[in-house]
Homo-oligomer: A and B are copies of this chain.
Amino acid sequence: IAQLQKLCRQPSIAAEGVGLEEAAQMVMEMLQALGAKVQGIPVDGGPKMVFGELGEGKKTLAFYDHYDIQPPDPLELWKSDPFAAEIREGYMYSRGVADNKGDLVARICAVDAYQKAVGPLPLRIKFIIEGEEEVGSTHLEEFAKKNKDLIGADAMIWEGSGKDPSERPFLYYGMKGLAYFELRAKGADHDLHSSWGTVAPDPAWRLTWALSTLKDEKENILVEGLMEHFAQPEEKDMELLRQAPFDEEGYRKSFGIAKWLQGWSGLDLKVRHYLWPTCTINGIKTGYQGPGTKTVLPAEAMAKVSFRLVPDLTPELVAKLLRQHLDRRGFKDIEVELLNGELPAKGPVDSAIAQADRRAVKEVYGQEPIIYPMVAGTGPMYPLSTMLGIPVSSGMGVGHADDRIHSPNENIRVEDYIQVIKYNGVLIQKFAEG
């Protein structure tokens, strides 16, 4: 607990470049204290990568974590200093304590405890700890390509999951990718009086028409050729989702929506959410947006459109298909810029690490974990796992339903943290044995 408080009390805000070197140093010292061989690897244009390696054995298990955190704003909503790591009624409150310093320190403590209580590690452990996860892991793919041998492992444990609203532990073996675009249409070189809407180009109309060709009202993605690269979910994945609880009513009420898209429910809803690609309008900006009326023909219109990707969709492929689609539909005038791309990652659901992870959770938590073949969100899992052919599992982490990551009063339960330390020791044992 003191170790975790120490790291939490060191701000390490990637977006602001605050305290990253200090936090990296602190983590390196913690790894050195385990007896690990530790490197702080410089990253051109980014904070250093911390790499630690220790133990001997036939297998190598890699842990991925990050020492950087989100900014703490808005400060006024915190009940205690975000860098005090104060413990109140069994909860520790701090920016980054759940995402993901708690997981990281629990893993370090587990290795320490294993060595002290059991003996030498039964396998080789690698810690791969980056400092810019919260700003898009900009250099991670390049790092992975250059350091294949350094990273090389039989399995990868990701940041760590947590407990769902019903307190059941869950695991996952993949994350969706992302292709996030800005689409722009242009009309006159300045806003015109809207009486010119008769004969002068209206970029708001051009953008509206172009967007409406991308997805239909039945939620079918219409970008030509895109769905040909979508593999229908495998039966193994479907079976896992059949067993995974999903609180349809709870989520529905918390979102304040009358029903899910297309009236989906049950397995259909889960398959759509966890295993399908999406095409989402994240924002549109054009013309007058204030109260009342302004009779303006806008000079420009802009939309942010993102696709969540599942295998075998890639950002580059979607960018190419989107451009071709718009061209074929007569929208050569619509500019398309890929703002951010991340590849989907998906490990096998029956790999040795997947099985060891399930067994470790069952032993420590006394129940079968919920298994999601992949989660609906996106993370930098691809370059460290799928790209290098390394099977991945989320690992159990310190998260819980009200942990408020990225929000004020981020917190973990101290007893969850202790449980995750125990679980990591068991996981090491299970994977070495498995």
Contact = CB atoms under 8 A, between A and B. Distances in A.
A256 to B, nearest CB: 3
A281 B202 contact: yes
A413 interface: no
B204 A308 contact: no
Interface in A361-376: 375-376
Interface stretch (A52-60, A145-153, A183-191): A183-191
A282 B257 contact: no
Contacts of A269: 199
A195 interface: yes
Interface string A216-230: 110000000000000
A293 B294 CA distance: 28
A240 interface: no
A248 to B, nearest CB: 9
Interface string A333-372: 0000001100000000000000000000000000000000
B281 A188 contact: no
A198 interface: yes
A278 B209 contact: no
Contacts of A217: 209, 330
A269 to B, nearest CB: 6
Nearest to A175: B195
B281 A205 contact: yes
Per CB-CB distance, the 4 closest pairs between chain A and chain B, nearest first, are A189-B256, A283-B287, A197-B280, A204-B281
